[in-house]
Amino acid sequence: MIRINLLPYRAARKKENVRNQILVFVLALVAVTAILGYFHFYLSGRITALDTEIKNTQKQVKKFNKIVKQVEETKKTLALVKKKLGAINTLDMNRGDAVHLLDTMTKVVVENRMWFTNFEAMEKVTTVTKTVTVTVEKKGKKTKKKKKVKEKKVEVIVKIKGIALDNKTVADFMTNLENASALNGEEMFGNVRLVTLQQTAFKQGKDKPTINLKAFEVSCQKLPLKADQSKDKEKK
């Protein structure tokens, strides 16, 4: 019987298998390393690009913040200018009121029957809350909403103190005030009322008798001028 020794063949085959496994492992390791390297460079590039984009965005944000700040300052300046223009227009409308008021007083006084002892015109500023309807557009649809708005109301209160010969003279003077008209023909005074009326003794001199006169105080409201009225006043 012939015997064949297979141990050298098996050992050689086993070594070859080990080499193949090592080769496959090395190839796999190289492939994994290559893939990881690719993703590393790819992600590094993306990170660099995003960092650059972030920096550019931050620069644009700073730029727009400056623009927004300039816009806000411009809005404040425009609001201030608008307020000043409103004050100028008001002064322009009322610049001749004092002269016109005194001129009117000389016309409504009952001649030779009454005399002024004190004349005062004061501005009274009150805040009035009004409800207005505003149109708001949202998503292409217009809706109406009610909004409360505060407005300043300026009233001119005129107080007149004087002395009259009798009660009828005071009544005639108040009637003249109610019928007084402005330059455009509209009423000039409103809410004319008698505050006080009392008898007072007036000494004429040593050889003349004391006479009884009527000391009175009348209050009224000067009605505001309109724009067309101020134009007529400027022409006159």
Task: Tell me, yes or no, whether 148 and 223 share the same domain.
Answer: yes
Q: How far is CA 154 from CA 47, 148, 223, in A?
A: 65, 19, 10
d(CA 9, CA 185): 134
Say whether both 210 and 231 belong to one domain.
Answer: yes
The mean pLDDT value of the chain amounts to: 81
Task: Specify the amino acid at residue 52.
Answer: T
Question: Residue 217: is its pLDDT beyond 90?
Answer: yes
**48 and 101 in a common domain:** no
Question: In terms of domains, do 143 and 194 share one?
Answer: yes
Q: What are the residues facing 152 on neighbouring strands?
A: 127
State percent of the chain over pLDDT 90: 18
Looking at the fold, whether 142 and 214 belong to one and the same domain comes out as yes
Q: Other CB atoms closer than 10 Å to residue 215's CB: what's the count? A: 16
Q: How many domains does the chain have?
A: 2
Whole-angstrom distance, CA of residue 192 vs CA of residue 161: 13
Check whether 107 has a pLDDT greater than 50.
yes
- Give the range among 15-19, 23-27, 176-180 with minimum mean pLDDT: 15-19
Q: Which residue has the tokens 């496994």?
A: 21
Confidence of residue 230 (pLDDT cuts 50, 70, 90): very low
- Most confidently predicted of 4-8, 108-112, 133-137: 108-112
* Shared domain check, 135 and 65: no
43 and 114 fall within a common domain: no
Question: What does the alpha-carbon distance between residue 108 and residue 180 come to, in Å, rounded to a whole number?
Answer: 7
Do the Cβ atoms of 148 and 130 come closer than 8 Å? yes
Domain that holds residue 166: 96-235
- Average pLDDT on 108-131 reads 85
CATH at 189: 3.30.70.60
Residue 54 CA, distance from chain mean position: 37
